[in-house]
Structure 1
Amino acid sequence: MALSCPKDCVCASNIISCSNADLKGLPLHLPPYAAVLDLSHNNLTHVRAEWAPSRLLHLHSLLLNHNHLIFVSTEAFINLPHLKYLDLSSNLIAFLGENLFSKLKELEVLLLYKNRLSRLDLTAFEEMASLQKLYLSHNMITRFPLELVKKDGALLPELELLDLSSNKIKTFPVDALKDLPAWVKNGLYMHGNPLTCSCPLYNLFSHWQKRQLSSAVDFEEELRCDIDQNRKGIRILSLSNPEFMNCTKVMEQSFIAYRGDNVTISCDTRQRGVTIREWVTPRFERVPQENNNSSMLVLTNGSLQISNISMEDMGPYICYAVSQVFNETLYVHVTVHNFTQHGASDTLNTAYTTLVGCILSVILVLIYLYLTPCRCCCRSSEKQANQQEDSINSSMLSTTPNHNAEVAGGKEVSKRHMTPSNAQGQNGKCKPNRSPKEANKGAQKAERKMSDPDSVSSVFSDTPIVGVSQSEGGRGCSKDKAGAELVGLL
């Protein structure tokens, strides 16, 4: 059996251990029954295609960690069709070639942490439909490989653990990762990266923490980001502090629907392989899984479907996820608005129309108050024009009784107007030696000016009419002026 066990190796049944053997090359002759091959802690630098010339159909675990590997051939694993566990950690690998692992269709665990990977050729992971755990931490990766886990068309559809911690990633596809299933988020480790701080990043990890996802709970202290050059290594979950970014604290979001909608609520459990999902309504009634003409139905993928949702369907729903090793209870609060989405738009249009109508009404009122022609201004201009008509002809031609109080005097008025103009002194002042009759004529003329019926003060004023002295522009000549005025009016 010496030929069956390679030199410098220890064989125990189907386990072959060549660890710490100071190997500089891979053993060429391996027993076909080998199931586990340990080549760790050696001085290997290359893994070439010819290292396994024959097919090893029983080999399921290969350990090449803690070597000095800088090159791995794309044909290196072609004769290992049933390999499930491959450890290439703690080496010097800087690049993954095209279709490097595509032949390992049954591989479930791949360890590549603590290498020098700076970029990934995503074709290296093609046709790996069985891969569940991928460890890429402690490398120099600068871009998040979203293609590995994206919701539709992921390269690794069965992946449930992706460790990208302690790399050089600064940006994070927050919006894309929000839609991932909880069992993917639960195993997505991003701590130890120089992430750029932002409120969406805080909301994402805060939500994961509330869901008690392992990626946020197990490494809460290591989830840090950089705000600027002076503020680095800030705990992401402390960004709600006003001292940093004052991000709004995230709350568990409820499912929002509108009356009459057909909605589907997912039982977003963080465990993969759940076999049973049961739903309980807010009235503590179990939702049937078979179609019995009910408005609620549990679909084959475990989601709850509610047709023509109404206000009575609002409230907390409970999903019980049961597997062989784990049970989980999820609560989803459904809020139903008492209008349809179309009705909400109509309501908005009606409110907008009402607002526009109110604004137009206010404008019309302002126009009425400030732009309508003012009666007082027009009357003032008329008054000014009347004051300019202070002549004998204008007084004789006036037919309005209020404007010409002398009309009632008949012939006496005509005689007064025929009096020579030299009866009045210069500047309208009365001569000291004129007769009382001439004084009465002068007083009546002055009264026509002071008793203007268009004057608001003369019509509505409660102040008595008092004659003025000669010093006030010659408008009065004696204390008997008031009596003469009353005689002239009568």
Structure 2
Amino acid sequence: MLCAQGVAAPLMLSSFLLQLVRANIPSGCLIASDILSCTNLGLDQVPLELPITVATLDLNHNRLEHLEEGCFAGLPKLDTIRLAHNQLSKLTPGTFRNTSKIHHLDLSSNQLNIIEQHYFQDLVAIEELLLYNNRIVRVESKALSGLSNLRKAYLSHNRLTDFPFFSIHEHPNLNTLDLSSNRMPNLPIEEIGALEESVQQALFLHNNTLICECSMYSMFRHWEQRGFASVREFWEEHTCLLYGEQRASVRFLQHVRFFENCTVKRLAQTDSKTAEAGKSVMLNCMTSLSGRNVTYWWVSPHKEYIVPPGNNNTLRMYANGSLEILQPRIEDSGLYLCMAQNPQESHNQTFEVNLTVTIYHQEVEPFNTGFTTLLGCVVSLVLVLMYLYLTPCRCWCRKQPLPATPSPANECSAQSSILTPTPPATTEGPGRKMCQSTAASPHQPLAPDIWTTRASPQ
């Protein structure tokens, strides 16, 4: 018995390797047990010959643009197909023919545009279908018909504006239907309400472009009260657009007072305002509506719904509709929308204020200018003093030669007399007496140097 088993194992391995050789697998594919992975090889078509023992086929991250009819036929054990991150824009009829045992199909991150009704009709055993991150704009009404075993379907991050909810009534096992991050403006509330509760609590609809209305709000509030995971786990991601305005998106499960009135009429005006960070700024709601019955509310750039008296001690709102931001920050910049409503006349108006918060630097430039002016004055004064007191002497700093002829009375420099550090010998005119004494004794020996005489007085 042991010998028989020892012989059987090599025979099975040899048979498997023989199939691989006959299959002509592309170079670069990896094989592990019943898994064949040919990812990121630049393939533009499914290999024509595949081992019949393959249960999981991974062709992610290639360049597949088309799938031929019956390209997966002849693989009786095939359970999982991964085709994510390719370039598939549509599926040929009969693509999944003879693949009735497939439970998992991944077509995410492709370029699919319309989910036609023939795409998955052969996948009667499918349980998990991944179609997220495509370009899907429509799902045909019978595209999911007959898939009674379907448990999870992911269609998030597409371009859906509606979905045939009535087509999933026959899916009792469905526990996840992800339609989040699409472009649905309205929901068929009656069709969704007719679904089984197990399906409703697995329906993910957050991050759509829903228009705020009472019926939509009531449905999600009911789901929140029932503790549905689709609402509880994505509470802040449930947003709606006030009056359908793209820039007036609010978290409607967090800010509920808007749904006290559901009249939809609007007249939009726009204004711009600049504020200094940290200093209070007032935003006025400039509308033509007036009177005691007019109510006001604001929507901040952070999708915060603001009503009197304000929120969180940072926003203060007054009865006339004005909004005061007590200590604005840079991140408070953005578009603020004021809504004014007169319930008696069923009339609404919208006023937009584009606020820019900046940091003011007033102290820097005046200080630099004043300092520069002061420095210039000081330098000028020093230069004047240097010129007056440090100018080189030209008369009394050197010996004066004896003039050959009498000098005029005014020949000596007045500057020499003024700059002489000691007073003259007589008081009869500082310059005149010295010139006269010199002229009166032409043959008298020269007097000692002026500096020497002054330094040693008798």
TM-score (norm 1): 0.47
**Contact 1:85/1:107 (8 A) holds in 2:** yes
Amino acid in structure 1 at the alignment position of 2:108: S
Question: How many residues are paired up?
Answer: 241
Q: Give 2:239's aligned residue.
A: 224
SS in 1 for 2:260: coil
Shift of 1:31: 0.8
1:284-295 paired onto structure 2 within 5 Å: none
Give 1:201 shift. Answer: 1.6
- Partner amino acid, structure 2, of 1:119: R
- Could you tell me which residue of structure 2 aligns to residue 109 of structure 1? 128
- 1:101-180 to structure 2, matched below 5 A, reads 101-149=120-168, 154-180=169-195
Identity percentage of aligned residues: 36
The answer to whether the Cα contact below 8 Å between 1:5 and 1:11 also exists between their aligned partners in 2 is no
The CA deviation at 1:234 is 0.8
Q: Confirm or deny that 1:198 pairs with 2:213.
A: yes
1:291-370 map, 5 Å: none
Give, in whole Å, the separation in 2 of the partners of 1:87 and 1:232: 36
Q: Does 1:235 align with 2:251?
A: yes
Question: What is the Cα deviation at residue 230 of structure 1?
Answer: 6.9
Query: 2:162 aligns to what SS in structure 1?
Result: coil
C-alpha contact (below 8 Å) 1:125/1:156 kept by paired residues: no
Give the distance between the partners of 1:94 and 1:176, measured in 2 at CA.
24
**Alpha-carbon shift at residue 239 of structure 1 (Å):** 4.6
What's the offset of the Cα at 1:126? Answer: 2.2
User: Which residue pairs with 2:260 in the alignment?
Assistant: 246
2:95 matched residue in structure 1: 76
Cα distance in 2 for residues equivalent to 1:57 and 1:76: 15
Q: Deviation of residue 98 (structure 1)?
A: 3.0
CA drift of 1:236 comes to 2.0
**Secondary structure in 2 matching 1:41:** coil
- Quote the residue 1:11 is aligned against: 31
Aligned partner letter, 1:237: L
Q: Which moved more, 1:96-105 or 1:130-139?
A: 96-105
Name the CA distance, whole Å, in 2 between partners of 1:62 and 1:247.
50
4+ residue segments displaced more than 6 Å: none
Q: Deviation per CA, 1:266-305: give whole Å up to 9, x if none.
A: xxxxxxxxxxxxxxxxxxxxxxxxxxxxxxxxxxxxxxxx
Q: Equivalents in 1 of 2:254, 2:96: separation in Å? A: 46
**Structure 1, unaligned stretches of length 5 or more?**
249-490
- The answer to whether the 8 Å contact 1:202/1:247 transfers is no
Aligned-residue offset at 1:50: 4.2
Q: CA RMSD in A?
A: 1.9
Q: Report deviation, 1:116.
A: 0.8
Q: TM-score, normalised by structure 2?
A: 0.50
Structure 1 residues 247 and 212: CA distance shift in structure 2, 3 A = farther
Deviation per CA, 1:173-227, whole angstroms, max 9, x where unpaired?
A: 2233234333111210001110011122222111211221111011111110001
Which has the greater radius of gyration? 1
User: Structure 2 counterpart of 1:245, which letter?
Assistant: F
- Distance in 1 between the 2:81 and 2:151 partners? 17
Cα deviation 1:307-357 (Å, max 9, x = unaligned): xxxxxxxxxxxxxxxxxxxxxxxxxxxxxxxxxxxxxxxxxxxxxxxxxxx
SS of the residue corresponding to residue 216 of structure 1 reads: helix
CA 1:231–1:239 in structure 2 vs 1: closer, same or farther (change >3 Å)?
A: farther
The structure 2 residue matched to 1:22, chosen from 21, 42, 47, is: 42
In structure 1, what is the equivalent of residue 60 of structure 2?
Answer: 40
* Residue-by-residue CA offset, 1:355-409 (whole Å, 9 max, x unaligned): xxxxxxxxxxxxxxxxxxxxxxxxxxxxxxxxxxxxxxxxxxxxxxxxxxxxxxx
- Partner amino acid, structure 1, of 2:147: M
For the 8 Å contact 2:71–2:96, the answer to whether it is kept is no
Task: Give 1:47 shift.
Answer: 1.0
CA gap 1:28/1:157 in 2 versus in 1, 3 angstroms: same
How far apart, in 1, do the equivalents of 2:119 and 2:193 lie? 30
AA at the equivalent of 1:101: F
CA contact (8 A) 2:236 2:254 kept: no
5+ residue gaps in structure 2? 1-16, 263-458
The 1:177/1:230 distance shift into structure 2, 3 A limit, reads closer
Report the residue type matching 2:260 in the other structure: N
- Match of 1:196, SS state, is coil
The answer as to whether partners of 1:240 and 1:247 remain within 8 angstroms in 2 is: no
Give the counterpart letter for 2:236 in structure 1: E
Displacement of 1:73 in angstroms is 1.1
